[in-house]
Amino acid sequence: MATLNDIPAEHRSTASRIKHLDRMPAAEAIHRAKHVRSLEEKAAPTGEIRDLTFAHTSRLLSTIPVKEYLERIAHLNELAAQLPGGIDGAGHEARQAAFKLKADNTYPPGLVEACGKRLLGKEPTV
């Protein structure tokens, strides 16, 4: 899994703020660090927009690795399909847990979709 030595020097300070760095591949850490650095460099110097930008980048840096996220979502979706699904049913609870997981994790645009395709073998391993 990724370490700061795997990250290009210009992105290490950003990557050092990634909460789950040691649980994700270096490529994901580099992608996140580049994306966050780009957003923070473009942020307004002061004001509410700057605060909102930094709140967003903080969320990007604290989310779980994409592979773990996709595995958890798949597991919860399988549970929801197998369990009774009425409003009080366990299937409903599994769907709510999946919804909460999605709401609690923010990723750079396209990252989850690209990783999902790669893990399913639909994309080349470049």
Q: CA separation (Å) from 121 to 39, 70, 102, 114, 125?
A: 31, 14, 23, 11, 8
In this prediction, residue 87 carries a pLDDT of: 74
In this prediction, residue 124 carries a pLDDT of: 57
The H-or-E segment that residue 59 falls in is helix 48-62
Q: What is the mean pLDDT of the chain?
A: 92
- Does pLDDT of 57 surpass 90? yes
Ranking 12-16, 65-69, 82-86, 118-122 by mean pLDDT, the lowest is 118-122
- Does pLDDT of 58 surpass 80? yes
**Domain extents in the chain:** 1-62, 65-126
The residue whose two tokens read 């110097």 is 45
pTM above 0.85, yes or no: yes
Q: How far is CA 10 from the centre of its chain?
A: 21
